[in-house]
Amino acid sequence: MTHPWKSTDEKRTIVFSYSPGNNIIQYLTDMRDLINRAIINAYAMAKSNNNKLPSPIILRRSLKNYYDNNIIYAKHHINPACRNAIAILRSYKKNNNGELRIIKAERLAMRIDSELIKIENNRLRITLKPHEYEYIGIVDKNKKFSEYSKYKLSEVLLTDSKVCITFRVGTLNKPVMEDNIIGFDLNFKSVDYTIIKNNEIVETNTINTSHIAKTQRDYARKRTKIQKHIKNPAKRDRKLMEAGHRQKNTVMDKLQTDN
């Protein structure tokens, strides 16, 4: 039997041309520079880990301090930038017999997550900075726009000449388990959740995960020291694997203790 929460959504995209303003061009340029920096970080991490590329989440952690101190855009923009960087390196690695090198992104193109986009009065609203928006008029001559626009937004692919808006078709009738809905907000140091029953909020709570975040940071520093000080590749890989196992066991122990 199919699980009631399993996603059965299909995606549909409309595409139209537009003329970007100065703010959009500057945003796309800054994001291209961020992607190139992320590629350099991911390449360095792969070379210190037997050519294994990091996940976008791990890459994001390595860029967090730089992003927070140097990038003026909303925090969510770092997520697709890291995914794009990993996708570029994975594609190169796949097409070059497992070899890696630093690839420079040239195109002005950026995927924007659904948290940062909204359709208002036949315009696409994009959150570039906190509480600062850019609007792009939607060319609704596409015969499918009126049909797709009633569904939830999935993402937007924005270039310096085209807008691609993707909708999650089939999201209007999302199955609900016994009229209960639980929403989670996952943060670095906490998990916040809200329970809604019969259209009323019946419970909200916060689970403190700062001790787990501290464990993750501690082992990240240990891995950095191992990569820096152990020159023998075989020994370094063995020590990194041991540290990974210890980190996993420590986190599991703390989760069980909390329960």
pLDDT digits (tens, 9 = 90+) for 168-224: 887 555 545 556 777 778 777 788 888 877 777 788 888 888 888 888 888 888 888
Q: How far is CA 94 from the centre of its chain?
A: 22
In a domain, 213, yes or no: no
**Structural domain span for residue 114:** 1-174
E strand residue ranges, the chain:
10-17, 109-113, 117-120, 123-129, 132-137, 152-159, 162-169, 180-186, 190-197, 200-208
pLDDT of residue 194: 84
pLDDT of residue 111: 93
Express each pLDDT in 2-16 by its tens digit: 444 344 568 889 899
Q: In this structure, which long-range contacts are made by residues 102-106, counting pairs with CB atoms below 8 Å and at least 24 apart in sequence?
A: 102/39, 102/40, 102/43, 103/39, 104/36, 104/39, 105/32, 105/35, 105/36, 105/39, 106/32
Number of independent structural domains in the chain: 1
pLDDT of residue 5: 39
Q: How far is CA 225 from the centre of its chain?
A: 27
In a domain, 247, yes or no: no
* Whether pLDDT at 1 is above 50: no
In a domain, 128, yes or no: yes
In a domain, 68, yes or no: yes
Task: Give mean pLDDT, residues 121-125.
Answer: 89
* Whether pLDDT at 160 is above 70: yes
* Whether pLDDT at 58 is above 70: yes
pLDDT of residue 171: 53
* Whether pLDDT at 132 is above 80: yes
The span from the CA of 167 to the CA of 134, in Å, is 20
pLDDT of residue 3: 43
Q: How confident is the model at residue 258 (pLDDT cuts 50, 70, 90)?
A: low
Q: Is 7 left (phi over 0), alpha (psi -120 to 50) or beta?
A: beta
* Whether pLDDT at 248 is above 70: yes
In a domain, 257, yes or no: no
In a domain, 212, yes or no: no
Task: Give mean pLDDT, residues 77-83.
Answer: 94
**29 close to 35: Cβ distance less than 8 angstroms:** no
